[in-house]
Each structure stands twice: as C-alpha cells, then as structure tokens.
Structure 1
C-alpha cells in the first residue's frame, strides 16, 4: 500500500520504495508535518514534534497551557494570520481587509491513480503506478476551502504536490500568495543548492549553508528564467554525489516563481515553492476556485546522483506525452550560425545537402523565413512565408529537402510582436504595454498578450497554416525577451495582478492545441537559449535548447548544472564553429563533439565550408552518437568530476544503460599542465561482478568502480577522450 491512513489517530503516511512522508492532524485540527526521509514502516513518528512552551511567540487561543505555537510546530501548509511567523504558503486578503486564513482539517480521500489540474500541466501515471492523497482543509469563518493533493509515485521515490482553493463564502477574496508546497523539517543542518545564471551562463551550481535569514530566490522575468531555475536542493552538510541525505524540489511551471528556504529559531527548517508573488494577486469570487502549479519533490539517502536519477526517470516516463519522449531524436543541422538572416532557398539547399553527407537526419530553417524579416527589428507576428526570399514556396523547398532523405524543421517565435509589422499596425492593443507610456524593448520586440483568446486564436491559425502547407516535422519554439510591461487592456482595474499567471495559462492552452493537432511534430523549446528550461515546457516539448552559448568549455558548467534535475534527453546541444561565436575560444572538433553528445546532438555552423577532414570527423561523431544515443537519452547519468570544483583540471561524466550492459565515458581536460600525472577516473553504475571490455582490455566492474581506470597524459588545448564500455 502506497498511502496509509490511520483515521483514529488522524495519521497519514505516504510510502515509496525507499522513502516515508508522514503528516498528522493536531489537537486543534491543524495539519502538521512529521517526517520525510528514509523509509520507516508502521511507525507513528509524532513523538518527534516540539511540545515545549511558547516563549515570545503567539499560540492558539485554545492552548491554555501555552503550548502549540504554529511558529514552533512543523506545518504542512502554513497560512497568514495564524501566528506562524515564518514564510507562509498561503496569504490572502479577506473582503473586510483582514489578512488571515486559519485552515483546519475537514476530511481525507485516497484515490487510485494520479490527480490532474484543470488548466495546468502535471505529471501523469501509467497503469496504476501512482496513488493520490487529497486532504481538505477549511476556514469555517470565511468559507475558504483548500484541497492539498499528493501524487505518490512509489517506485520512483517521487511525490508531487498541488493545492486547490475554493471560495465557498459569500464575499470575494484576493490571493496574494499561494505556494504549491511547503516542507518543514523538525531538525537537521542543511545546505541549500540552487542554480543561478544569466544569458549564456545558465544554471550555475552554488551551495550555501542554510541560515536563520530567509533565503528567497526566483524569477520576475515572466519566464522561469536564466537568473534562477525552479529546481533546487536541500542537502546534508556532508552530502556528496554518492553519500548522504538530500531533498530535491521543482515546479511544473514556466512563469514567475518564488522559492524560500530558512532555518527557524529552534533549528527547524522550512522550504516553500510556488508562484512568484512580487506583483501577483488574484481576485477569487464566491463559487470560484484557483489551482496552484504542481510541485515535485524527492528524497535520497544515498547522495545527489541517486536524487537526480529519481527526477530523470519520472520526467522521461511521466511528464511529456510527445511520441518523441521515447523515440530516437533526429540529429539536426540548424542554419542560424551559418547564415543568420542572410540566406536564400538555394543556400539552404546547399546546407541541407552537406547535412545529408555527414549523416544528419533533420534540416532546420531558423529565423528569417517570414514577412519582411531581414533583421531582428521587424516582422515578428507576420507568420507568412517570404517566398521571394526562398525563391519558391515552403512546400517546394521542403519537398526538395525531403527528396535528399532529410526531414524538415523551422523556427517560430509566436509570443512576440515587432512594432514594424503588419500585425502591430492592425492590432497594437494586442501587445503588452502600460497605458500612455512607451514600451520597454528587448531585441526591439514586444510581447503579445496571450491572456487574450483572440491572440491565441490568431497564433494557432497562423502556425496551422504554415504547418499544413508543407511536411514540417520539427518546430523550434523561441521566446527572446523577458516580460516586463505587465498591463493588459483586456483586464479591468484591480485585476492586473492576475496577468502574469493568465499569460502562462494562455501559453499552455496554445501549446495544448498545437500539440494535439500535430502530435507527429517534434517541438524544441528555446528562450534566448535556456531561459525557460523548466518542467512546464517539458510537459509539451521533450527537448529544450540548453543555452545560446555553444562554447564547449562554458557548456560543461551549463550542462552539469542542468543535469541535477533534467535528463540528457531534454538538453539541446550542438557542435558549433571554432573560434566560438560567443566568446572566441578555439577548441578541437573532438571536444566540441564530446560535449554536444551530452544532449540531443546536432550541428550549428556552416557545414558547407567543412574541409574533407572535418567532413570525415563529422561523419564519425554522428555515427558514434547514433550508436550510444539510446543509452545516453534513456540510461543513468553520473557526474564524475565537476566543472565547479576549482581543484580539478578536468570534467568527467558517464552514462550507463539501465541493464548495465554498456556505458559511455567522457573526459574533458580544461587545464593542461607540463609534466602532468596520468588521469585516473573511478567509474560508477556498473555491475561489480560482471566483466567489461575497455579499449580491448577486460576489467571487472568492481575494478573499474573502485580501483578506477587509467587514461593518459593529455596535451594540447582542451583535449578530451570518450570511451565506450561493453559488458562481456
């Protein structure tokens, strides 16, 4: 049984294969969190709860013995106005202006299968692999009811959470903050691991001690952003990749979010995660309901690698419904870095012919194919094929490329609009902009108001018209600016705080329509590179362009940080030119290929200019990637040496097939020194008692994992080595 309910004790326990999560209703009907950690069978753990006096903290009026302050007790869903002085999960304003909601236990329900949300993407279950626990809490005075949902994936050690609020009272209320989850840990010393960044340097690993100050981080970019990622960890002081306890949290959402982490006065710890609350508010009329995005969490008692595997598996198996989630991804060639806007149909055909010559499967036509789009200052929104530029219709171009044996893909940026566009001239009111003010610009473009149905209808119509006109099998869906001008002409005064969330709901509605109509089209997400790399996007598209920075040495850190929550199969990664377009670094072709193979492999340069030697190299690496692709995208990923470890001169990672019959090791040396020692790497994830062939030699799995593998002494600029390992 995954969910255990003791109605007499009002004790609720969620059991997964290796973890236990326990809650209990207290004396005054508040819902308390008791324990989350390694699995413990058949035990009431409420003896762990604080039962001392409440010194200089408020406690419930009923607590005549001065015991029971919600500031000191570990809660499941803390709320405003109840005496909890930490970061609360729910903050709302009642009709009379009071900021208080006191939720008490009402009932509980165990449901076979996985819950879903009405307008937001969620994880889903296959063949009864999950159960749902629904706990209903209510404030009898105001008629506010909150349902807490817990989706339990027992074999994955994963629990999802969401909250649904209903206004059953007679007056409207205003929500100021509604988090998807809160977790209180009664004791323990922890570090916070989060992933910060900027354009071209996304998801940098940073580990900080959890302190008594509130650490608050998130995004106010209108997207999940490159500044912070919604995924973060709480880890024990001595936890590393292979040992120690750690908690992971993430959010199925693509807009503004907020996370907090803090240590309480008596050593307890709390984390919260949910919607961003900088400008957010939502008016909830009587009879209406509001749903929070889904959060997902996991616990590992065996280090951070095991935690990553929990997330990787559930993302690959239970999030995206695209057929490409399980299918082999095409090796693609994108023309952007080769031509930018300066291309013709003839030039694209030359690149496509060269792509076929190196074994690619897919040719992608990037920005510049529509309207009057000859630079990035115009035409966004005018999604009409520029046949004059192509020299033919889209259908004719695609047929020629298909005849070469290649599939065809193309770039869109549907959410954006240029002031210099036919669409803006006809519908300036469709752009987000504050009244009587000049709009803020980024890349000389504005953002369409996706909260408006007519805007979504127009975009769906134009995307459909293009896709229906030719055999298009791939879309790169881009989004190249943050959202700042939060004002919709479609919302009344006092409801502009709803726009941030309504935009994302509109985006998901549009994505849903496109993916349902075109289930055979592979969609790759992009937002100025990796600024919207999140579980919400991965619900609709199985892969995301990891960063606009294609320099392989910079990518080591970007892809390392991304790997903590997201599988290799989600990371778009390509070979680009050298010197690199972003930073000018010169790197060997072999290293660019090695790093690009840690993702959905492709090429982002003018391959028509390849020398004969480069053509042969490209054929070699395309063939090698196809050999290891299934293992890379569906196997277990191991971080062996970190790019953020200053004591290392190398970065190493390894993928292992699920049946442990094969493995693939990659090592990149970032600082070559004179008179260097040999490089030694201890492998992981193999079967200790089995034998494996490495470069013609036979080793036991135990030897490779414990004694390690001796490589060589590297020379040159940024050398690398890849080793295929096969069970014998």
Structure 2
C-alpha cells in the first residue's frame, strides 16, 4: 500500500516512488497538512508541525490549545472559525449563516480508484495500480458531510484529489464555494507559474515571484479559456528545467475555474484550485450529493522537465481513454485554409487525391458542409448535408476518399446554434439566455443550453445520425464562442447560478455517450483553437487543436507552454500556407514542418497551389514523420531551449529504452557574425553510442549530453535543423 495510517500519531502518509504527502488528524478533529515534497520514510509530527501562538489569531477551541486555525496548515479550510485566509469551501445554511466547522469522523484506505460520477477523471485498469484514501469530515450542526478523496498511483509520481459534499439533513444547504484542492506551505520563497494568453497565443508561460497577498488566475467565460489554463504551479526561485522544487496542480475540468496562491502576514503560502465560486451556487437538497472535479498534483524535485514528464505519462496512459490512446495518430490534411466555405465535391476529391499521393492518411472536411452554410452567419444546429455543395452526400464523399486509401473526417460545432437556422426557429428557448435581456452573439452564434437533458439528447441524436451515415473515422469538435447571459429556461430561480456547471455536466454526458457509441472515431477537441485545452476534454478526446495560429514562429511559444503539462500526442500541429493567415509571416516549408512535427502532424493548405518542388518536400516530410512519430507521440520530452517569446527554441524526444531520439532546433532572426550554438542533449544513455543523422562517425551519449551537439551556422531568418539519433 502506498497510503498508510499510523494510529499512534494519527498521521496519513501518502507515497509515490518520489513523493511524500502527510496529513495529521489533530485531537480537535481538524485536518492539518504536514508536508508535501520529496519522499521521506520517517515522520516526526512534533518536528513537522511547529505553530506558535500569534497575536490577533483567535483560538478555535479553548485557550489551552497551542494552535489557531489562522496559522495552522490545513487540508480543507473553512472561513469564519478563526482562519482569515482564503477558504477551500463555504456553505450557507437555512438560517442564512455561512459558518461551518468540519471535523474528522472516519476514513477508508483501499486499492484501486473509483470513478467520479458525471465527471472526467484519471483512472486505473487494475486495482493494483493505485491506492485511494477517503476521509470523511462532518459538521454535525449543519448535517453536512464532506469526503476528501486522495489517490496515489503506484508507478507514477502523481497524487489526485477531489471532494464530495453530502447533505445528511432535511434542510437544504447552499454550496457557495467548493474547491477541489488546498495545500498550505510554511514559507513564501517561491515563484508562481501559470499559462496565460488569448486567441492565437494560448498558454504562454508567465513566471513571477510570489508577493504578499493574493495572486490568482481564473475563467468566468464558461470554458477553461484561451486566457488562462487550469494549471498552476509554485516553484523554488532557482528552479529550472532540470533543477529545483516544483509543486503543480492541474484541474480536470473544462469550465469556469479559479486557482490562487495567497501569502499571509507570516509569509506562509496557501494554494487552491477548483470551480470558480464567482456567479456559482449549488442548492444541495436533503441526501443530495455534489462532487467536485479532480485535481492532479505533481511534485518534482528536479525541475520543470521532470514535472512535465510526470504529467505526460499520466495523461497519455490513465486520463485519455479512447481506443486510440495507445495508437499512433494519422497524418492529416484539413481543407479549411485551402477552401474555407467555398468548395464542392470535385474540389474536395481533387485535394484528397493530391494528399494521398503525398502519403497523407486522413482527409478532414471542415466547416461549411451542412445546412445552408456559406459563411459564418447561419446553419449551426442544422446538422444535415448541404446537398448544393455535396449533392451525393457524405457517404459518397467518404467512399471517394476511402478509395484513395485515406480515412475521412468531419468538423462539427454541436454546442452552438445560429439564430438563422431551422433549429433556432423551432426551439428559440434552447440557447443560454435570460428573459427580457438581449441575446449577445459572437461569431453570429449563440450557445445551446446543455444544462437541459432535451438539448443534450438532441445533440447526441443529430451527431449520431451523421456519424452513422458514412464511414467517418475522425471528428473535430469545435466551440467558437464563450458564454454570456448564462441562464436556463428550465431551471427555477434558486438554481440559475448552477447553469454553467450543469452545462459542463451535460457536455460531459454528451461526449461520454458519443465516444462510447463510436469508439472507432478519433475525436479531436477545439475551441477557437486552444480555448479548451484541458484535462477534462482529454479524457474524452485524446488530442486537441493547439491553436488557430499556425505560424511556425508563434507556435514555438505556444507549443512550449502547452508542453509544460500536456503530452505531444495530445497537441494538434499542422503546416499551413505562407504568408501565414494569422500573422502574415513567411517561413520556410522545412521549418514549418519541423515545428509541426512536435505534435500530431498534419497540413492546412491548398496542395493544388504548390509547386512540384514543394509537393516533393511535403512527401519527404510525411515519410520522415512516419518514421519518427512513435518516438514523438510516445517518447519522453526534454526541452533544451526556451523560446522566451519568439527566440530560438530546441527540444528533443527520447524513446523509452533510450535507443533513439529526435532533436529539433529552430532559429528565429539571423544576426551578423553570430555566436556558435551547442545543444547539450538530455535523457540519453551515457554508455550508448549513437548514429546522428548528418554525421559520419558515431558519438557517445555522454559526449552528446555533457559536451553537446554543434548547430550549423545559420544563414538566414527562421531556419531549422533536426537530428535523428539511433543507437549503434
């Protein structure tokens, strides 16, 4: 067992092969957080818990106790009982009060990991893979029970956490706040790291020192968002890719979230993450249950690189659950930037024929194939074929593409509706809206109300009908606007603030039903690019379109930030035309290929408009990627150079047995009389000899790591190089 309870000192010790996490049950019943960090074997609670009396910090029990909650490190703190810091939860009782005081009642330790009802979460395929601890806390006066759940994975360096609320009384309870995790640290000598941005520049790392007060990120947009990702980490000030302590939390949720670090007057730090309490309440009736989303916790003693590889291993193998989880992903072409809305069967077939000749394996038909869709002003919700463009339908088109030895895929945006659509005219109350208020549009569309069962059922029925109508083996699931006027026509007034979370529960039900019914389909999520790139979506859809911005130089920063948490196999990365359609930059085709090969590889351009030389280069790119894609998609990532905005970047993937590796270097702007660049590689076996592509003699792994690999002198802007290493 990797979780043990010591009855002599009332301490729970959670262990992974690298990490220890300690919780103490105090004699008052409060749960104290003792430690999270590098694995330890012996536990001295008197040494770990040193909490002096402080002025203006009232005692929660009686003056004989030597601690107070305002300074006690806690597992799941409340507000109002002498702790003045940010709480993990808050409830409102029938009498209007918001005071609650949870105390330990009992616990259970068992092998395995139970699923979370209605929510995505990490999982096990055998009970021997993990150990779970459930701690029941009760507030007898409020008739409230909260169960804290912790799971340690035997072969992975991760701990997961969540909380479950149960109203054991007869009177309703309002949940005002219910975070998934809280961790208290004894000092504030940390930097904080999060991933920030906007449409077209998602998940750019932001790192800054902690300061007194509150530092937080959140989303109030109804999605995890382009602006902030539900990832939050604190780290030692000297932490690098390969050195220093990193404590990271990632929420398995796709909606509104909040993550924060609060430094108090004594320079201790409280970190929390969970559903955003802004504009949220949940009415918990008698005997009803509320489950919070899961948080994944990773501690790394050896810097950000180790943290990333721990996340990647878990998410590749025990979060994504598709039948495609362990399969290599096909090289695809998407017609969007080649045709946009203007296409017909002949154009699509010609583009597919050209793609097939170049070795591309999957053709994806993007927006415009349904309803009367000729632009973005109509037809979302009308999921039937536009026979003016495709007179013989999807079955005929899929067969034409299959006959060219390619799979066929399709774009959907099922969560949205156009006001100019048959669906909206028939069901104007099916969208999120507030009575007597304007219905704000974005991209000429409204958001369907997935808190309603009838809307969810209709989406499942419409999408299923299309997927059953043709040999469709891939779906790109898009969401191109965020929520406004968040209200539901079916919810009573006292439950309106539940709408955003009920939407997420409805979405997860829809995705569960569709991915279960169509296991052969490879689903890729998208939200205006990377606006919903989070673990919640990866549970149902094992890859995500990383960004609508396909410029190779912009993608260096986007893919670097994304890789901090999410594995390469989850990142959709494509070569597009130049000048780039987002930033109008022209980069070499070779560089665009090298950058896109850092994820699931594909193309978004008009192959018919290319020269013969360019088509040959693409054919060579496809051939090369196929030879290394298993290494990229399932190997271990080592970041060598941080692009720091738009600077030069380098990274490498190493196979599990360390017998092969792929190294990529991308230079941005050339300079006169440049300095020489040497890349010190990582993750290789020092005793191995490697053949390095482009070199005549073999090189030792120790030399490549400790001396380095010389980069050729760059003779222009935006040049790139790759080296394929194989053991001799």
- Shift in CA distance, 30/311, structure 1 to aligned 2, threshold 3 Å: same
Distance 1:521 1:503 in 2: 24
Tell me what 1:180 maps to. Answer: 180
Distance in 2 separating the partners of 1:638 and 1:696: 25
- Aligned equivalents of 1:516 and 1:650: distance in 2? 43
Q: Distance in 2 between matches of 1:410 and 1:261?
A: 42
Q: Secondary structure in 1 aligned to 2:266?
A: coil
More deviation, 495-504/636-645:
636-645
Number of the residue aligned with 2:93: 94
Residues 169-568 of structure 1: pairs in structure 2 closer than 5 A: 169-187=169-187, 189-568=189-568
**Residues 151 and 161 of structure 1 are in contact (CA less than 8 Å); yes or no, is this contact kept in structure 2?**
yes
**Secondary structure in structure 2 of the residue aligned to 1:560:** helix
**Structure-2 residue corresponding to 1:615:** 615
Q: How many angstroms apart in 1 are the aligned matches of 2:585 and 2:454? A: 46
**Aligned partners of 1:338 and 1:243: how far apart in 2?**
45
State whether residues 323 and 519 of structure 2, in contact with CA within 8 Å, keep that contact through their aligned partners in structure 1: yes
Query: In 2 relative to 1, CA 666–72 (structure 1 residues): closer, same or farther, beyond 3 Å?
Result: same
Q: CA deviation at 1:640?
A: 0.7
- Secondary structure of the residue aligned to 1:325 is coil
Deviations for 1:486-508, whole angstroms, at most 9, x for unmatched residues?
A: 01001001211100100000000
SS at match of 1:111: strand
2:608 partner SS: helix
Counterpart Cα distance in 2 of 1:97 and 1:460? 41
| 1:62-77 correspondence to structure 2 within 5 Å | 62-65=61-64, 67-77=66-76
- The superposition leaves residues 46-72 of structure 1 with CA deviations (integer Å, 9 ceiling, x where unpaired) of 422233113112221x23136321110
Cα shift readout 1:313-334 (whole Å, capped 9, x = no counterpart): 0001101111111101010000
Residues of 2 paired with 1:684 and 1:223: CA distance?
Answer: 36
Q: Which stretch shifts more, 50-59 or 667-676?
A: 50-59
Distance between the aligned counterparts of 1:46 and 1:39, measured in 2?
18
C-alpha separation in 2, matches of 1:156 and 1:17: 7
Q: Secondary structure at the match of 1:151?
A: strand
Post-superposition shift, 1:263?
A: 1.6
- Is the Cα contact below 8 Å between 1:54 and 1:66 reproduced in 2? no
| 2: CA distance, partners of 1:96 / 1:46 | 40
User: What does residue 104 of structure 2 align with?
Assistant: 105
- The 2-side partners of 1:145 and 1:55 are apart by 32
User: How far did residue 188 of structure 1 move?
Assistant: 5.0
- Correspondence 1:8 to 2:11: no
The question of whether the paired residues in 1 share the 8 Å contact of 2:188 and 2:263 is answered with: no
Shifted more, 219-228 versus 429-438: the winner is 429-438
What SS class does the counterpart of residue 155 from structure 1 fall into? Answer: coil
Question: In 1, distance between residues paired with 2:571 and 2:504?
Answer: 22
Give 1:247 deviation, angstroms. 0.8
Tell me the residue number matched to 1:85: 84
Work out whether residues 175 and 283 of structure 1, in 8 Å CA contact, stay in contact via their aligned partners in 2: yes
Match of 2:324, SS? helix
Note if contact 1:53-1:66 (Cα within 8 Å) is conserved in structure 2. Answer: no
43-52 vs 106-115, greater mean Cα deviation: 43-52
- Which position in structure 1 is the counterpart of 2:716? 716
Give CA deviations for 1:388-434 in whole Å, capped at 9, x if unaligned. 21131211111111001000000000000000000000000001112
Deviation by residue 1:260-288 (Cα, 9 ceiling, x = unmatched)? 10222222211000001110100001111
Aligned to 1:660: 658
Q: Report Cα offsets for 1:427-465 as digits up to 9, x if no partner.
A: 000011121122111101000000111111111111111
Q: If the length of structure 2 is used for normalisation, what is the TM-score?
A: 0.98
Q: Residue 683 of structure 1 aligns with which residue?
A: 681
Change (3 A) 1:139 1:184: same
SS of 1:495's equivalent in the other structure is helix
Please give the per-residue CA displacement for 1:639-686, whole angstroms capped at 9, x wherever unaligned. Answer: 11111178xx52101110011000000000012101112221100000
Question: Secondary structure at 1:148's aligned position in 2?
Answer: strand
Distance 2:485 2:608 in 1: 42
Contact 1:171–1:285 (CA<8 Å) still a contact in 2?
yes
What per-residue deviation string (whole Å, max 9, x for no partner) do you get for residues 589-616 of structure 1?
A: 0000001001100000111112110111
Give the corresponding residue for 1:692.
690
Q: Distance in 2 between matches of 1:506 and 1:453?
A: 7
Any conservation in 2 of the 1:367–1:412 contact (CA below 8 Å)?
yes
Q: CA separation in 2, counterparts of 1:558 and 1:446? A: 28
Which residue of structure 1 lines up, in the alignment, with residue 585 of structure 2? 585
| Residue pair 2:225, 2:531 contacting (<8 A) in 1 also | yes
Instruction: State the 1:27 CA deviation.
Output: 2.5
What TM-score comes out, normalization by structure 1 length? 0.98
* 1:315-360 superposed Cα distances (whole Å, 9 cap, x missing partner): 0110111111110101000000001000001100011001101110
Q: Distance in 1 between matches of 2:608 and 2:62?
A: 78
Q: Structure 1 residue 596 and structure 2 residue 632: aligned?
A: no
* Alignment partners' CA distance in 2, 1:30 and 1:154: 28
Partner of 1:624 in structure 2? 624
Offset, 1:696: 2.7
- Equivalent position SS for 2:540: coil
Residue pair 2:254, 2:536 contacting (<8 A) in 1 also:
yes
Unmatched runs of 5 consecutive residues or more in structure 2: none
Contact 2:167 2:289 in 1 (8 A): yes
Aligned partner of 2:633 in structure 1 is: 633
Task: Give the Cα separation in 1 of the matches to 2:502 and 2:479.
Answer: 17
Partner of 2:113: 114
CA distance in 2 between counterparts of 1:327 and 1:141 reads: 53
| Structure 1 portions without partners, runs of 5+ | none
The residue aligned with 1:674 is: 672
> Aligned equivalents of 1:187 and 1:581: distance in 2?
47
- Classify the secondary structure of the residue corresponding to 1:630: helix
